[in-house]
Amino acid sequence: MTTPPAGTAGPLVAPGPAATRGPVRVVGTGLLGASVGLALRGLGIDVVLEDPSRVTVLLARDLGAGRLAEPDDAPPALVVVAAPPDVTGDVVAAELTAHPEAVVTDVASVKGAVLHALREHGADLARYVGSHPMAGSERSGPTAARPDLFVGRPWVVVGTPESAPDAVLAVRNLATDLGATPLTLGADAHDAAVALVSHVPQVAASLVAARLRDADPAALDLAGQGLRDVTRIAAGDPALWTSILAANAPAVLPVLRELARDLGAVVDALEEAGSAGTHQAVPDGALGTLAATIAAGNAGVARIPGKHGGARRVYDVVTVLVPDRPGELARLLTDMGNAGINLEELSLDHAPTQPVGLAAISVLPGLGETLEAELTSRGWRVAG
């Protein structure tokens, strides 16, 4: 990890002394594995790199993620397997056998399938603790690796009843040393959680986006921030997501079946509404189903934790017109800072044909009117 420069985020993320003991063996030196290597090397820990691709491992070495193995190496204290989900179980089993003193972890985004494979192998589960850092990038491979990739991210630690306490501690220490926040979950709970907060939303976003393939370009001109938000993650990689969804099928399926049941109820309600001809004549049952669907969404979205892990807040939102020139948004936020008001969230929208942006500024509840007055007095145009 690089030394934080003075005056920036440094003090907030500076690690203490590393708790992780080396040598650490990293198997798979793509984005995640090479990032682990870079971060550990920054902490002065000996890192040995391994990858089935000779080019990938040499690239990771040259980028500073670690060194290649040598014949008289000390045995690794910790092995981090950062392989694709569908081969992770086999690789972990092989590492447990090859390094009988080492704690072995992996970083695959699905945990039950890995554990299942290990049990089939009859692996030594006392020394295996799975993990899942909630970090990534739209890029891949060692050249996209970063020592700071895990800073501030949740890192799920997945022990089993067989896990030795020291092994669990070693993996928690790894997460903490890399700047992440360790969270403890069982394999089934982890897989159910990521199905709900990641895999099912991915499927939904992809299905909505797929409907746009044959859309009239004029229809797409009406696209607003809502559509952009719902479909942003639909740009994800098909090969990666196929692997994740297939590996987590047992956890994703029940949620998708519930989604399909609810969708069927909406379709039935709209068929009733449609056959009733005019809106006024729609039977109450159909309207009730539609209202219940939206209300259920209200209740669900309200449970997503807000910033810093607290309860979700309903912020005051002030929308400001910002000319699309370098420095204008900075000037806006400088004016906010001068007014002593902290930004909670910011989203930008753009006028379809004009060189002006709409900045929606979220601030703590109760501060909206103050912010509006402050910005207006500084010459900004506040929009609806």
Query: What is the C-alpha to C-alpha distance for residues 1 and 368, in angstroms, rounded to an integer?
Result: 39
Q: Using the rule CB under 8 A, which residue among 222, 285, 364, 369 binds a copy of itself?
A: 222
Q: Binding segment for a copy of itself among 18-26, 58-66, 68-76, 203-211 (CB under 8 A)?
A: 203-211
* Chain residues 317-346 in contact with a copy of itself, contact rule CB under 8 A: 317, 321-338, 340-343, 345-346
Q: Using the rule CB under 8 A, which residue among 258, 364, 369, 373 binds a copy of itself?
A: 258
Strand 78-81 vs strand 154-158: parallel, antiparallel, or unpaired? unpaired
Give whichever of 69 and 220 is closer to a copy of itself, judged by the CB atom.
220
Residues contacting 73, CB < 8 A, separation 6+: 23, 48
Q: Using the rule CB under 8 A, which residue among 117, 123, 167, 171 binds a copy of itself?
A: 117
Gap between the terminal Cα atoms of the chain: 44
Task: Find out whether the peptide bond into 23 is cis, omega within 30 degrees of 0.
Answer: yes
Q: Does 121 bind a copy of itself (CB under 8 A)?
A: no
User: Where do we find the tokens 């002593």?
Assistant: 340
* Chain residues 124-163 in contact with a copy of itself, contact rule CB under 8 A: 134-135, 137-138, 144-146, 148-149, 151-154, 156
How many other CB atoms are found less than 10 A from the CB of residue 292? Answer: 14
- Shortest Cβ distance from residue 125 to a copy of itself (Å)? 17
Q: Does 68 bind a copy of itself (CB under 8 A)?
A: no
* Chain residues 30-59 in contact with a copy of itself, contact rule CB under 8 A: 31, 35
Structure tokens belonging to residue 19: 């708790």
Site string for a copy of itself, 293-312 (x = CB under 8 A): xxxxxxxxxxxxx-xxx---
Answer whether 59's CB lies under 8 Å from 86's CB. no
Q: Does 74 bind a copy of itself (CB under 8 A)?
A: no
Give whichever of 161 and 352 is closer to a copy of itself, judged by the CB atom.
352
Query: What is the C-alpha to C-alpha distance for residues 33 and 25, in angstroms, rounded to an integer?
Result: 10
- φ/ψ of residue 362, rounded to 5: -100, 130
Q: Does 16 bind a copy of itself (CB under 8 A)?
A: no
Site string for a copy of itself, 358-377 (x = CB under 8 A): x-------------------
Residue 272, CB half-sphere, CA atoms under 13 Å: how many?
Answer: 16
Give whichever of 97 and 338 is closer to a copy of itself, judged by the CB atom.
338
Q: Does 109 bind a copy of itself (CB under 8 A)?
A: no
Query: What is the C-alpha to C-alpha distance for residues 371 and 340, in angstroms, rounded to an integer?
Result: 9
User: Where do we find the tokens 């810093």?
Assistant: 308
